Structure 1
């Protein structure tokens, strides 16, 4: 695990500058980019949906993260948040590493051009083959348990020349957030070994004589995590690290991975400012920010979510019910959590024709908020053939007609990566854009899937 010696400066030293982590693409920009995409021919007549990603905002967020933390820190963006290869390449080009939750995500990371020593491999179910591949590739491996660490130690005997460093995930026991399914630092969590005196002895015994066993990993959860909980984990890890070093009689654990989990601003939630997070962590655990420690982060949603948005065409309008229904092309296949757990996950939905006129915080899916012109309450349904395929029960728009385009905001994370094959609809195209002197500059990041692509995916020998 190596760091980059340089880091952007300026943002961290100007606390009055608004954080890009609190921003979204403006309605005016969304309208300009959507108009350009629809006029360019990149969105064909059979495309009922297209996903767009703001690559300038992505660059700015990574730059701000790098500026907030020590210059030798390694910031790995979680592949599971958005595995589109060209977006991963953009992350790497902006100076980020990548965090992989499976061997396949390690392969994606390497294909994206990420140096192996800046890839973090996390998974609670690594096979011996997975571990052997990771050690041979030279990526940093975080063992999820002592049992897995023992397996890594055993497998590494067959890879004496491996440059890979290894860490152990610990549970700091600082509690959960507002979403139980994404909270992993409570006593009941199945991830990581619980901190305590017994673990100090166990880890020190395994680290003795193994200088490549250099890391500690802690991750408390994702979305809905209070800033205080993210910060609270740092001093727990610091004290545990000090205890292991006292037991060893020397310093060895110089790679400290504090995970990710910073909340981003979906409807009704406020994003974390990375400058405040870094400042408070430094105050709570100063030794982890010293020059002798490679500090690692694993932010995914907080980096990616607001960079993405989707165009979703209204195919039919159903006014036969008490509440009108807009039948669209993106539903539970794209927004799985919204459809199945709507109480915890809500996305703003706007009508493209009026999106540029909306105040920044007007949200079509937020109860009690209306666009600035008269509107009515709509159910927005997806294209799948089950009753739960609904992405909003109360989206407020001016009158909709078939052929209108809706904008689903904040879709840059945990949408394409969670795509459901229920009903076997092909994934939409993904377009990236940057600001140009003559308007938005668009590029295809991933082609739309065809019916043939889906057939191949389900065929014998798929992937060969």
Structure 2
């Protein structure tokens, strides 16, 4: 904070800013590759942080890109990802989306039988495509602690429901009749899901891949895409679970993935980005109401969308700093019960509620930790922030270097930088 203030990255005009730690990103990507064997290739879920400069360094660190919309595909291309390193996963692909992917050798995961019909037509138009094409499978193994992010329930909107009716045999027949189907995909976990549950979903599709190949009599399915969804610990700085923890459970439950028989792809997002970014916002006003100290800032539901609308599922840690960038602690300030509020005009626009924090005053700063994924790159009302900046930071504690990723005053400026 002191360095950011001294270099005018943060000044008295600041409303909200996001800072990404590029050194931390590099270490996190390295940890992912170190945890898995060489037949694993890791892609980054672009929706987790759709900033071109962040994606560009992730590409340089060796990651591919998983995209779920045409906009994300455009951003990934602007960040320099090669077509063969991109996977398009949207459950609502238009015919144009599918044609773009197949024509340009971008891999896709088919969500349903109606989409399969479209893909078949396009395969006749582009029989020499190098797109790796497969089905997204819903293993229907159940959900985790957060229902809104559970993707493997019996009624999930995602993927081909494997356990319904005669779907398993129908899918085997589909693959037997279409040799261009060479992949299987599932995304069975996310925040709130136990690693064992995620591994179970991956075990299901690995067994399915073996069954398809055995039925055909050769290895037609050569890629297994195990999705992402590794949970993040938002309660402290500790990185738990780690990629190594996940790899150990996968190796125990699905050892075939570690034998080099299949190419395995991942789609980590939050686990890559979250702990490598923070949001800092300025306290504009404070007051007391009903015995509660309320600090009004410029970062609320328009940035911390999930936290504002689902605070029990998505709590975040906050730290207060003085206007000079000095951390406020119980040794230096009175600790009071505090709500940190955002600028939006509804009662639920709160970053945290009833927290014991060193007392905040106007022109202090609040830092929200672990917000490098699904926060500052996805706020829904950009024009509500009169000044937004996103910076990268690298170096050790005494020699920090800041570089601008994005700093703009209007939506048009942002669009021109994409």
**TM-score, length of structure 2 as denominator length:** 0.92
Whether 1:386 and 2:354 are equivalent positions in the alignment is no
- Evaluate the alpha carbon distance shift between residue 371 and residue 246 of structure 1 in structure 2; reply closer, same or farther with a 3 A threshold: farther
Partner of 1:367: none
The aligned runs of 1:290-305 (5 Å cut-off) are 290-305=259-274
Supply the distance in 2 between the matched residues of 1:194 and 1:124 (Cα, whole angstroms).
Answer: 13
The aligned runs of 1:213-228 (5 Å cut-off) are 213-228=181-196
Question: How far apart are residue 244 of structure 1 and its match?
Answer: 1.2
Partner of 2:107: 140
Find the partner of 1:418 among 369, 378, 393: 378
- Evaluate the alpha carbon distance shift between residue 379 and residue 183 of structure 1 in structure 2; reply closer, same or farther with a 3 A threshold: same
Whether 1:377 and 2:346 are equivalent positions in the alignment is no
Whether 1:98 and 2:65 are equivalent positions in the alignment is yes
Unaligned runs of 5+ in 2: none
Which has the larger displacement, 180-189 or 191-200? Answer: 191-200
Find the partner of 2:395 among 435, 438, 441: 435
Give SS of 2:268's match: coil
Q: RMSD across aligned C-alpha pairs, in angstroms?
A: 2.5
Whether 1:306 and 2:264 are equivalent positions in the alignment is no
- Evaluate the alpha carbon distance shift between residue 157 and residue 413 of structure 1 in structure 2; reply closer, same or farther with a 3 A threshold: same
Supply the distance in 1 between the matched residues of 2:4 and 2:220 (Cα, whole angstroms).
Answer: 52
Partner of 1:333: 302
Question: How far apart are residue 371 of structure 1 and its match?
Answer: 7.9
Find the partner of 2:293 among 324, 329, 333: 324
Which has the larger displacement, 204-213 or 97-106? Answer: 204-213
Whether 1:402 and 2:371 are equivalent positions in the alignment is no
- Count of aligned positions: 414
Supply the distance in 1 between the matched residues of 2:11 and 2:122 (Cα, whole angstroms).
Answer: 51
- Evaluate the alpha carbon distance shift between residue 424 and residue 329 of structure 1 in structure 2; reply closer, same or farther with a 3 A threshold: closer
The aligned runs of 1:66-145 (5 Å cut-off) are 66-145=33-112
Question: How far apart are residue 102 of structure 1 and its match?
Answer: 0.9
Whether 1:263 and 2:221 are equivalent positions in the alignment is no
Supply the distance in 1 between the matched residues of 2:394 and 2:77 (Cα, whole angstroms).
Answer: 25
After superposition, the C-alpha distances for 1:327-379 in whole angstroms (9 at most, x for unaligned) are: 11101111011111111111101112497687xxxxxxxxxxx7896400111
**TM-score, length of structure 1 as denominator length:** 0.83
Question: How far apart are residue 408 of structure 1 and its match?
Answer: 0.8
Whether 1:230 and 2:198 are equivalent positions in the alignment is yes
Which has the larger displacement, 43-52 or 398-407? Answer: 43-52
Supply the distance in 2 between the matched residues of 1:71 and 1:190 (Cα, whole angstroms).
Answer: 32
Unaligned runs of 5+ in 1: 1-33, 359-369
Give SS of 2:37's match: coil
Find the partner of 1:351 among 305, 311, 320: 320
After superposition, the C-alpha distances for 1:141-178 in whole angstroms (9 at most, x for unaligned) are: 01111221222121221112221110101111221110
After superposition, the C-alpha distances for 1:47-86 in whole angstroms (9 at most, x for unaligned) are: 2121111111111111010111111311011000010110
- Evaluate the alpha carbon distance shift between residue 173 and residue 396 of structure 1 in structure 2; reply closer, same or farther with a 3 A threshold: same
Give SS of 1:262's match: coil
Find the partner of 2:126 among 159, 165, 174: 159
- Evaluate the alpha carbon distance shift between residue 164 and residue 455 of structure 1 in structure 2; reply closer, same or farther with a 3 A threshold: closer
The aligned runs of 1:54-73 (5 Å cut-off) are 54-73=21-40
- Evaluate the alpha carbon distance shift between residue 253 and residue 84 of structure 1 in structure 2; reply closer, same or farther with a 3 A threshold: same
Question: How far apart are residue 94 of structure 1 and its match?
Answer: 0.6
Q: Is the 8 A contact 2:222 2:263 kept in 1?
A: yes
Partner of 2:222: 254
- Evaluate the alpha carbon distance shift between residue 437 and residue 192 of structure 1 in structure 2; reply closer, same or farther with a 3 A threshold: closer
